Amino acid sequence: MLPVPLRVVEANARTYRRTWKGSVVTTFLSPVLFLAAMGLGLGSLVDRETGARALEGLAYISFLAPGLLAATTMQTGASESSWPVMAGIKWIKTFDAALATPVGVPDLVAGHLVWVAVRLLMTSVVLVVVIASFGAVSLADALLAVPAAVLTGMAFAAPVTAYTASTEQETRLSSLFRFAIIPMFLFSGTFFPASQLPDWLESVAYATPLWHGVELCRGAALGTDATLPVAAHASYLLAWVAVGWSLSVRSLRRRLLP
């Protein structure tokens, strides 16, 4: 028999088998368009004007691609842990149905996060193939960034699950993306080095999980030296996963159990 959390993963996989087409645009097409527009379009101007002087000798598309991989897993992890979790709690109540079985709250959270990790892995593998097809990074090197990308996505999935479980109003999910996820996407080193930000904003960028994920992905794919040791970046992201998991269990217990 499957462990209880994997039963939750199985249920999510059965649902996704029928709904996967709805995620194609946001998960795959948008990063491809960003890579084409920013990497090839804007990148040609950056390379011509700066000669890659500001990017450690890298072509702009090569600099951009690993950062975009990390940013996409951030968005996927946050998306999979916001409205789907709210639906399970409030709208279609699949979480209540699961808890009516031998599934407990820790099993439910673990199964949900394992499923998100599976989604992040699928997304990352497809994206590294796209990145390699653009010639930004070789496929072998891009694949080295997949574990870092999955870890980055999980560093958002776990705390966003806790946030969703603790809020009654779905409008707060839109606010989360508007005021947290999108600013991190823009200012955490995806499109340009965070060192080019004003001093006060640079410090904020260094505190975000995405910056650590971008550093890990870029270092793995391009072989560049990360700002901090790899273990420090990874430990920071793992701390977000661990704290997020703990808070998710506590919030769901308060929300769903009498």
**For the residues 185-191, what does the mean pLDDT come to?**
94
Give the pLDDT of residue 48.
63
In contact, 64 and 35? CB cutoff 8 Å: yes
pLDDT bracket for residue 38 (50, 70, 90): confident
H or E stretch covering 209: helix 209-222
Q: What is the pLDDT of residues 167-181, one digit of tens each?
A: 999 999 999 999 999
Q: Note the pLDDT of residue 104.
A: 96
Contacts of 161 (CB under 8 A, 6+ apart): 81, 85, 109, 112, 113, 244, 248
Q: Name the strand (E) or helix (H) holding 10.
A: helix 4-19
Where b means 16+ CB within 10 Å and e means fewer, 128-163 reads: bebbbebebbeeebbbbbbebbbbbbbbbbbbbbbb
Q: Is the pLDDT of residue 53 over 60?
A: no
pLDDT of residue 33: 85
Please give the tally of structural domains in the chain.
1
Counting residues of the chain whose pLDDT is more than 70, the rounded percentage is 94
CB contact at 8 A, 171 and 148: no
Tens-digit pLDDT profile for residues 95-130: 999 999 999 999 999 999 999 999 999 999 999 999
Q: How far is C-alpha 136 from the chain's CA centre? A: 20
Give the pLDDT score at 111: 97
pLDDT at 1: 64
Name the residue range of residue 231's domain.
4-256
What is the predicted pLDDT for the residue at 123?
93
Q: What is the pLDDT of residue 119?
A: 95
Higher pLDDT, 248 or 47: 248
Least confident residue range of 50-54, 173-177, 208-212: 50-54
**Residue 52 reports pLDDT greater than 50:** no
Separation of alpha carbons 113 and 248, rounded Å: 10
Task: Name the band, by pLDDT with cuts 50, 70 and 90, for residue 55.
Answer: low
Query: Measured between alpha carbons, how far is residue 113 from residues 32, 76, 196 in Å?
Result: 26, 12, 35
Share of the chain above pLDDT 90, in %: 73
pLDDT, tens digit, for every residue of 125-164?
A: 999 999 999 888 999 999 999 999 999 999 999 999 999 9
- The per-residue pLDDT for 155 is 98
CA distances from 116 to 13, 166, 168, 185 (A): 10, 19, 22, 19
**Mean pLDDT, rounded, of the chain:** 91
Q: Are 81 and 161 in contact (CB under 8 A)?
A: yes
